[in-house]
Every structure is written in C-alpha cells, then in structure tokens.
Amino acid sequence: MKPMRILLAAVVGASCVAGTYAQERPNAKPVNAIKAVRFGKLWDAKGKLWTNAIVIVEGDRIRNVTTDGLAIPAGAETIDLSKYTGLPGLIDVHTHMTIYTDETPGEPMLKQLAANPPAIEVFLARKGALRTLEAGVTTVRDLGADQYMDIAMRDLINHGEMIGPRMFVCGYGLYVTNTPYKPGMNSTAGGVADGVPEVLKVVRQQIAAGADLIKMYASTGTDDDVTGFQTYNYEEIKAAVDAAHKFGKKIAIHSYGPDGARDAVRAGTDSLEHATDMDDATLQEMVKRGTFYVPTIDHNRYYIENGDKIGYAPGYKEKLQAFIPRNLETARKAFKAGVKFAMGSDAIYTMFGQNTLELGWFVKAGMTPEQALRTATTNAAELLGKEKELGAVAPGYFGDLVAVEGDPLAEIEVAIYNVKWVMKGGAVVADKTKDRGH
C-alpha cells in the first residue's frame, strides 16, 4: 500500500485540494481537531440565514453554530471565510463515479471504458471524485457500476485512502436481457434479471455484496438512446421495490418514458430518475406518496457538447436536443403539482465537477434559488434517509460546508460557479480562496 499513499499525496499536492488531515497532522486522528469557521452569511438549510456565523466543527461533526466569538473553544483553529456565504455540503443523488474517463485525444470515451480493467477504473476515478468535491458536492448517491467498483471506491473513501465525496452505492443496476447497458462497454451480466424470481435474486445479491440501495432500469434510454420503452412489467418492479424495502434499503428506478414511470410510482419506488411526459395522474400519485423526482435534465446538455469525444454515432445531437424540452416541461409540471425534487446530475465520463449545473434547470422549471438549493441539501438527505446527519448546518450534522462568493439565494449561478472552499467531514478538501486574479 505504501507506493499508493505516496502517489496519492503527489496528486493531492498538485491539485487545488489541500488540508486533508493526513497532510496536516501525520500522526493525529482528526476526531480531536476543533475548527471554527467564520462566514459573512450562512444559509443553514434549517430555515435561517445567519449574518457573521461561526460554525464550530469537532472531528467530523458540527458541534455548534453561533455568532458569539467567545463560544470558540481555546485552541480551535480559526478559518476566516467572512468574505463568503456558507452552505451545507451539497448532495448529488445520481452519479456514476466509476464510469470516469479523460479526454485522451483520439480515444473515444466509450472505448476507454471497455479497455480498462476495474482496478484501473477505480484508481482513475479519484480524479472525478476531486472535481466533484471542488463543485461543493460532499455526498453522492451512485446509481450503477460494474464489478462492485462503487463499493470499493466508497470504502476507500471512507477509510481515508482516497479523497472524494461520501458515497451511497447500489452495485449493479437491474436490467432486462437485451438492454444494452452501455454500447461499446465490456459489461458483465451482473445486473441482468428477467421475471420475478430473478429480480428477487439480483436484488438480494446487491444487498449481500454491500449495496446501500437498489437501482432498477425500468425503461430503455441511456447515452444517445432517448427511447423510453418500458422494460420491466409492474409485477417485476413491485417485486424489486418490496424486496429492497424488506431489507431496509431504498430503491431508485430509471425510466425515460411515462409508462415505466407510472408503474414505478405505483409500485412504491423511493425515487424516479429521468422520466419525461408523465401524466397528471402519475404526478398526483407522486405527491401523495412523497416520491422523489430526479429529472437529470443537464446530462443531455453534456452529451450534446461532448458526443463526438464520447463516440456517439452521428445524429445524436438532434435526438438529445429534442429530449431536453420534454424533460424540462415535465419538471415544470411536476414542480407545479407539488412533487418533491432531488438534484441528480447523472455525472459520468468527464462530467464530474459540473454536478450542480442541474440547479440552473430547476430555476428554469420554476423554483426559486432557495427551493433549488433544497433539492441538493435537505431533500436529497431525506431521499438518502440521512436527514439528521446530512444536508444542513446544525449541531450533530457532518462537518460538510461550502463557501461561495456572492448571494446564492439571489442567483443560483453563485452556487454553481463560485465555489471557493469545501470542507467534508471536518477536513478541508478544496480551497481556492487564495487563488489570484479570478
């Protein structure tokens, strides 16, 4: 393991990431460190906008939020961010952290993925993990990986061997025979399940492997394929939902079209990913059941901009461009109807770091900037079942903090583009406050 640690330190030193406890205090455990972080303004996601807030972080948790300088414990390290507005660490509820690629010239991203063994993919994925943190995202819900690379990455991050967002992972997503999971990708059959008995078996296998939640693909549609044909029938979907819930796990169901969405909602899914063209009855059912909608509007924007480098066949731009307005219109209708939203980017390939662009689409769909921020904080935490630990700045919550320059409640772009500093679990993981000439 030693060479890997040295390499990791070199990578950390070369990027914007600074101040992990391993560098600061080689032999000290972080749990003893106390930090007092001063913000000019602080949006705590608990309904309060503070002026001159001091957040006291002990180890990996927030001990107190105050405006009283005398409350800072003796010996605490003070971090002065009084030029900035503080936010809770943001949560992206739809990523594919282990499907990371770079922009090696002449090498289509789909080919890179097919060529790389899992161990190499996990090692490369640390770069996407850093970009994600730099965007202010300190927690992700990762929705589909091969070979349990997501579990490996989650555990490496939790053990401090890799620097990245806290990950909640699903192992293999369930899909029916003949659904090409990723064209050109050397995909194993770990998630294939047809019929109720196989669905039950594959759900149980993911949980046995250590998955935090279950993912099911209930329709076609991925990458440059925007068809939304339902793949699993209601009985299969219901079996997956009930099996996940019996183990105390949540389930996320993918559907590009309205049919899979309707059956996923009816079957009791916790979140619905992507879905377009949903009818009023489905939206009302989502409101009634408290189903989260994760529309992932921005990922098609990313595909349009990068399709040639990814390796899509010609014609992809028109198809994707036609899908975006349907996606946005469905989001607008859903928000108006009172459906709960959570922010998911569907970040993949080189999209890491662009995770929060989705918030701009949410404002276009009718949200205020504050309502948009809730989708990446309190709402996302509720979807994870972690609403008492994540998504807010309050005593007992994880020490996940973001400093932005400007007023994110007036302009959502501030939260998207002006992230200056990030703390995750009490450790500073990104710091651009000293960058010159911005």
Q: Which residues bind Zn ion (CB under 5 A)?
A: 143, 346
CB closest to Zn ion, residue no: 346
Kindly state the helix (H) or strand (E) to which residue 95 belongs, with its residue range.
strand 90-100
Burial (CB count <10 Å: 0-12, 13-18, 19+), residue 37: buried
Indicate the SS3 state at residue 415.
helix
Minimum CB separation of residue 346 from Zn ion in Å reads 4
C-beta of 41 vs 131, nearer to Zn ion: 131
- Structure tokens of 50? 């503070």
Minimum CB separation of residue 272 from Zn ion in Å reads 12
User: How many other CB atoms are found less than 10 A from the CB of residue 261?
Assistant: 33
C-beta of 263 vs 346, nearer to Zn ion: 346
C-beta of 361 vs 398, nearer to Zn ion: 361
Measured in degrees and rounded to the nearest 5, phi and psi for residue 347 equal -60, 135
Using a CB cutoff of 8 Å and minimum separation of 24, what contacts does 271-276 make? 271/93, 271/342, 271/383, 273/94, 273/143, 273/344, 273/346, 274/221, 274/327, 274/346, 275/228, 275/330, 276/228, 276/323, 276/326, 276/327, 276/329, 276/330
Q: How far is CA 63 from the centre of its chain?
A: 25
- Residue 343 and residue 380 in contact, taking contact as beta carbons nearer than 8 Å: yes
- Nearest 5°: the CA angle 153, 156, 159 is 150
C-beta of 92 vs 134, nearer to Zn ion: 92
Residue 66's DSSP bridge partners are 54
Minimum CB separation of residue 113 from Zn ion in Å reads 14
359: nearest Cα among 326, 386, 331, 336: 331
Minimum CB separation of residue 300 from Zn ion in Å reads 12
Minimum CB separation of residue 5 from Zn ion in Å reads 32
C-beta of 213 vs 392, nearer to Zn ion: 213
C-beta of 221 vs 425, nearer to Zn ion: 221
Q: In terms of DSSP H, where are the helices of 98-173? A: 109-115, 118-134, 149-158
Minimum CB separation of residue 142 from Zn ion in Å reads 9
SS (H, E, C) 299-328: HHHHHHHHHHHHCCCCCHHHHHHHHHHHHH
User: What is the spatial distance between Cα 59 and Cα 36, in angstroms, rounded to a whole number?
Assistant: 12
- Structure tokens of 313? 């066949």
C-beta of 146 vs 346, nearer to Zn ion: 346
User: What is the spatial distance between Cα 316 and Cα 318, in angstroms, rounded to a whole number?
Assistant: 6
C-beta of 50 vs 256, nearer to Zn ion: 256
Minimum CB separation of residue 347 from Zn ion in Å reads 9
Residues 6+ apart with CB under 8 A from 15: 130
C-beta of 41 vs 215, nearer to Zn ion: 215
Minimum CB separation of residue 22 from Zn ion in Å reads 32
C-beta of 298 vs 346, nearer to Zn ion: 346
Greatest alpha-carbon pair distance for the chain in Å reads 64
C-beta of 346 vs 382, nearer to Zn ion: 346
DSSP class per residue in 343-408: ----EEET-TT-GGGHHHHHHHTT--HHHHHHHTTHHHHHHHT-TTTSSS-STTSB--EEEESS-T
Q: How far is CA 95 from the centre of its chain?
A: 5
Minimum CB separation of residue 153 from Zn ion in Å reads 16
Minimum CB separation of residue 101 from Zn ion in Å reads 15
Minimum CB separation of residue 273 from Zn ion in Å reads 6
Kindly state the helix (H) or strand (E) to which residue 82 belongs, with its residue range.
strand 77-88
